[in-house]
Amino acid sequence: MLWSVPIVLFFSWTTLTSKSPMHGQPAYTPAVTWHRWIETTGEYLALAFYRTQATGRWAIAIYAAAIGAALVSVEGYHLQVC
């Protein structure tokens, strides 16, 4: 576990700075944006629920609210038990 941080940092640095054939290609360039998160979450939910098309934004919002409610209720339960 102690080695995981230096390994990840080294891998990330070499991946982002190397001059490989994929470097600079839009499909292989990391994009951390709200639009990309919505797109990948929709694809994930479609795979998780055996759908043929990506899940829409409202379904993602409902899913996120359900996960948030579950986390709050578990944390509340954990505080009551302890």
Q: Within a domain: residue 70?
A: yes
Whole-prediction pTM:
0.49
Q: Within a domain: residue 72?
A: yes
Residue 19 makes CB contacts below 8 A (sequence gap 6+) with: none
> At 30, is the secondary structure helix, strand, or coil?
coil
* pLDDT exceeds 70 at position 81: no
Residue 37: CB atoms within 10 Å: 12
Domain that holds residue 43: 32-82
Q: Within a domain: residue 68?
A: yes
How far is residue 28's CA from residue 11's CA, in Å, rounded to a whole number? 15
Q: What is the pLDDT of residues 14-67, one digit of tens each?
A: 877 777 776 667 777 777 788 888 888 888 888 988 888 888 889 888 988 998
Q: Within a domain: residue 52?
A: yes
Q: Within a domain: residue 20?
A: no
Structural domains of the chain, count: 1
Question: What phi, psi does 3 have (nearest 5°)?
Answer: -80, -10
